[in-house]
Amino acid sequence: NLHLLSSEQVHVELAKMLMEMGQSHLFEKWAAPGVDDNEKRAFFDQVAKLNSSYPGGLKSYIKTARELLADSKAGKNPFDGFTPSVPTGEVLKFGDDTFINYEQAGVKEAKNAAFVLVAGGLGERLGYNGIKVALPAETTTGTCFLQNYIECILALQESSCRLAEVSNLAISNVNASVYEEVSTFMLLSSNNIYLKFVGKCQEIPFAIMTSDDTHSRTQELLESNSYFGMKPTQVKLLKQEKVACLDDNDARLAMDPKNKYRIQTKPHGHGDVHALLYSSGLLKEWHDAGLKWVLFFQDTNGLLFKAIPASLGVSATKQYHVNSLAVPRKAKEAIGGITRLTHADGRSMVINVEYNQLDPLLRATGFPDGDVNCETGYSPFPGNINQLILELGPYMEELKKTGGAIKEFVNPKYKDASKTSFKSSTRLECMMQDYPKTLPPSAKVGFTVMDTWLAYAPVKNNPEDAAKVPKGNPYHSATSGEMAIYCANSLILRKAGAQVDEPVQEVFNGQEVEVWPRLTWKPKWGLTFSEIKNKVSGSCSVSQKSTMVIEGHNVILEDLSLNGALIIDSVDDAEVRVGGKVQNKGWTLEPVDHKDTSVPEEIRIRGFKINKLEQLEKSYSEPGKFSLKP
Ligand code: UPG
């Protein structure tokens, strides 16, 4: 009832609560009554915010903190009583029949999905000054992560809608003329006539979790780029709040070192996303609109959407309440391991064990070597890439009970072995992948393993740290993130029938990487393997030095021999067949030093810049059929 009281009374109530919870030190240095009143009011405003943004309020935060700090001091193993084992999941192979079927099922389901990007992290390990979603995923086109994500969602939306429409046509044999007024996209009917679609596609909602560190810059990025083609109403930003820092094992709240009228705060972790989706009412809105799936993803993975259709297909086919995407994991790699934990009392769950906990857990449970590779050269535990697909109905039901609260942890850095004081203040944290921890054993929790080259190439490490990564382990840098996109696109085109040259090895920012031809395309050109395969025909070949940028939707590669740079842009109604021999000097990669501040930060952190020497560039701005055969 606090909000019904006048603000002064609210302050009194909050002060009482803090006193009751052993926080009187917060007021010790306050000036005499009547002095610094504005600052004192601001203090209570901050307390009110900390209180309302945490499920159960500050009282509950302090209580949980005391319990977790006591466990930590006692050295209690969070996995006490549990034995880890390797779980079984769905292992997919790109391009085979199973994969294609899952992709088809996933595209069909996509119209019932909502996407959630967690982008509140500052990316301290990367050390980039901007927000991570504004970084170019690759510099051939300069497309940033956020643009890529939005264009992928829009492409999926259109493919899903088209698929639904094609099946409607097949069922109802609709009169073609109905479809001829406006064109949003083209359909191929069962008797191979192109029809123009006039219906409205269901918009796939897109929510982005931001924080004080990223909110305004994310908003500006969207606004200054017209939401990258998405309707502004389709995108919702949810800002997570920070939580109070803790000074000692009694969970005394830490004062801001610079202001005696403020509590020091730090991020609470990506697990906040569940409480925010629930408390904002968004989940209910999606549920009421008949949606079925919520897909969570992270800020810098330029490959992710290549794996989304098939993994959504797995969720739909297997009716998984929770489906985590995973890739083969190198031992000690900084990605969590998906593990089956079986308790002595018979309980069992499949859950992520975070990368810093897997080794101690294994050592404590009869695996003296800890987190090591097995005979395959990989850890036997699949690596969690933190792409989660939740079925909305059961998810809503669970959140009605928990309010979205996720099992938290605390990670204090103690001054010495007595564990009585901390080197610096700590706070409670939570992770979005810990959601299944509160689920009943009946919940269907599964995971889907994909090839790393297809699904996972995040940008997390700065050049110095990346250069120190042990040989054979992934760099997870801006350099490797960009190279992974060219590699994946080259391998996909190969699988689609083109002959693509082998990569060459080069060193940028101290990291040895494979440089494949720089092949890029808009997601609307092809997100699934079937879509891409349909656009590659005859005998196509691409040399290693080549660059290709496909901006159009309906561009068909037909007997193309590419040895140079080719840039094609076309409106959706133009069908462009590209073939023949394209030969020019192309675009080259020129090394730059990451310390060279004359080069923009987003370029120098990858260690190369693109020299555009010569290219064949064509743009088709009118509808019609065209052929480009130089
Ligand atoms: N993030 C927030 N709010 C926070 C902290 C992080 O939104 O308070 C976001 C961040 O922007 C990013 C994501 O959460 O999009 C993940 O953060 P990051 O620092 O990249 O996570 P890691 O510590 O590297 O680990 C996560 C998972 C781990 C998984 C790995 C895969 O915890 O299990 O293997 O991501 O990339």
pLDDT at 181: 31
Per-residue pLDDT band for 1 (boundaries 50, 70, 90) equals very low
DSSP 489-543: HHHHHHHTT-EEPPPEEEEETTEEEEE--EEEE-TTT-SSHHHHHTTEESS-EE-
Per residue in 473-486, pLDDT (tens digit) is 899 999 999 999 99
Q: Give distance in angstroms: CA of 375 to centre of ligand 1.
A: 29
- Partners of 548 in the beta sheet? 519, 566
Cα–Cα distance, 621 to 552 (Å, whole number): 10
For atom 17 of ligand 1, the residue with the nearest CA is: 121
- Counting DSSP H helices and E strands in the chain, the numbers are 16, 35
Per residue in 22-61, pLDDT (tens digit) is 999 999 999 998 899 999 999 999 999 999 989 889 999 9
Cα–Cα distance, 542 to 360 (Å, whole number): 48
pLDDT of 186 > 80? The answer is: no
pLDDT of 471 > 90? The answer is: no
**Residue of 131, 238, 325, 386 to test ligand 1 pocket, by largest number of atoms within 8 Å of CB:** 386
Residues 6+ apart with CB under 8 A from 630: 580, 581, 582, 616
pLDDT of 263 > 90? The answer is: yes
Q: Is 341 exposed, middle or buried (0-12, 13-18, 19+ CB in 10 A)?
A: buried
Rounded to the nearest integer, the mean pLDDT of the chain is 92
- Partners of 345 in the beta sheet? none
Per residue in 590-602, pLDDT (tens digit) is 999 999 999 999 9
Cα–Cα distance, 120 to 135 (Å, whole number): 15
pLDDT of 195 > 70? The answer is: no
Per residue in 245-262, pLDDT (tens digit) is 999 999 999 999 999 999
pLDDT of 328 > 70? The answer is: yes
Higher pLDDT: 127 or 192? It is: 127
Q: What is the mean pLDDT of residues 378-391?
A: 97
Whether the CB-CB separation of 553 and 532 falls below 8 Å is answered with no
Cα–Cα distance, 109 to 293 (Å, whole number): 8
Angle at 304 between CA 336 and CA 486, to 5 degrees: 115
**Residue of 266, 298, 371 to test ligand 1 pocket, by largest number of atoms within 8 Å of CB:** 298
- Expressed in percent and rounded to 5, the helix, strand and coil fractions of the chain are 35, 30, 40
Per-residue pLDDT band for 75 (boundaries 50, 70, 90) equals confident
Per-residue pLDDT band for 6 (boundaries 50, 70, 90) equals low
HEC-encoded secondary structure of 532-554: HHCCEECCCEECCCCEEEECCCC
Per residue in 196-254, pLDDT (tens digit) is 555 678 899 999 999 999 999 999 999 999 999 999 999 999 999 999 999 999 999 99
Q: Give distance in angstroms: CA of 298 to centre of ligand 1.
A: 7
Q: Give distance in angstroms: CA of 586 to centre of ligand 1.
A: 37
Per-residue pLDDT band for 170 (boundaries 50, 70, 90) equals low
Buried b (16+ CB within 10 A) or exposed e, 536-561: bbeebebeebbbbbbbbbbbbbbebb
| Ligand 1 pocket residues where CB is under 6 Å | 118-121, 209, 211, 240, 267-270, 298-299, 334-336, 352, 354, 384-386, 431, 433, 458, 460
Per-residue pLDDT band for 177 (boundaries 50, 70, 90) equals very low
Per residue in 273-304, pLDDT (tens digit) is 999 999 999 999 999 999 999 999 999 999 99
For atom 29 of ligand 1, the residue with the nearest CA is: 335
pLDDT at 166: 67
Cα–Cα distance, 493 to 491 (Å, whole number): 5
Among all chains, which residue has been given the structure tokens 């007595």?
418
pLDDT at 180: 33
Q: What is the mean pLDDT of residues 358-383?
A: 94
DSSP 215-233: HHHHHHHHHTTGGGGS-GG
pLDDT of 565 > 60? The answer is: yes
Cα–Cα distance, 559 to 540 (Å, whole number): 5
For 37, phi and psi rounded to 5 degrees?
-60, -40
Given CA atoms 212, 216, 221, 222 in this order, what sign does their dihedral have? Answer: positive
Of the listed ranges 118-127, 160-169, 543-552, the one predicted with least confidence: 160-169
**Residue of 53, 115, 116, 118 to test ligand 1 pocket, by largest number of atoms within 8 Å of CB:** 118
Per residue in 94-113, pLDDT (tens digit) is 999 999 999 999 999 999 99
For atom 25 of ligand 1, the residue with the nearest CA is: 335
**Residue 466 CA from chain centroid, whole number:** 20
Tokens of 246: 């803790």
Among all chains, which residue has been given the structure tokens 């000692």?
248
Per-residue pLDDT band for 150 (boundaries 50, 70, 90) equals very high
Cα–Cα distance, 203 to 289 (Å, whole number): 11
Angle at 597 between CA 593 and CA 602, to 5 degrees: 75
pLDDT of 523 > 50? The answer is: yes
DSSP 349-395: EEEEE-HHHHHHHHHHTT-TT-S---TTSSEEEEEEEEEEEEEHHHH
pLDDT at 163: 83
Per residue in 494-514, pLDDT (tens digit) is 999 999 999 999 999 999 999
Alpha helices (H) along 251-366: 272-279, 282-288, 308-318, 355-364
pLDDT at 193: 45
Quote the pTM value. 0.93
Whether the CB-CB separation of 530 and 104 falls below 8 Å is answered with yes
pLDDT at 179: 36
pLDDT of 612 > 90? The answer is: yes
Query: Percentage of the chain surpassing pLDDT 90?
Result: 85
Cα–Cα distance, 324 to 106 (Å, whole number): 15
96 secondary structure, DSSP code: S
Element spanning 58, H or E:
helix 57-73
Q: Please count the other Cβ atoms lying within 10 Å of the Cβ belonging to residue 199.
A: 15
Start-to-end C-alpha separation, the chain: 75
Whether the CB-CB separation of 608 and 589 falls below 8 Å is answered with yes
pLDDT at 5: 52
Q: What is the mean pLDDT of residues 489-498?
A: 98
pLDDT at 406: 92
Q: Which residue type, as a one-letter code, is found at position 17?
A: M
Of the listed ranges 139-153, 154-168, 246-260, 263-277, the one predicted with least confidence: 154-168
Angle at 552 between CA 546 and CA 555, to 5 degrees: 70
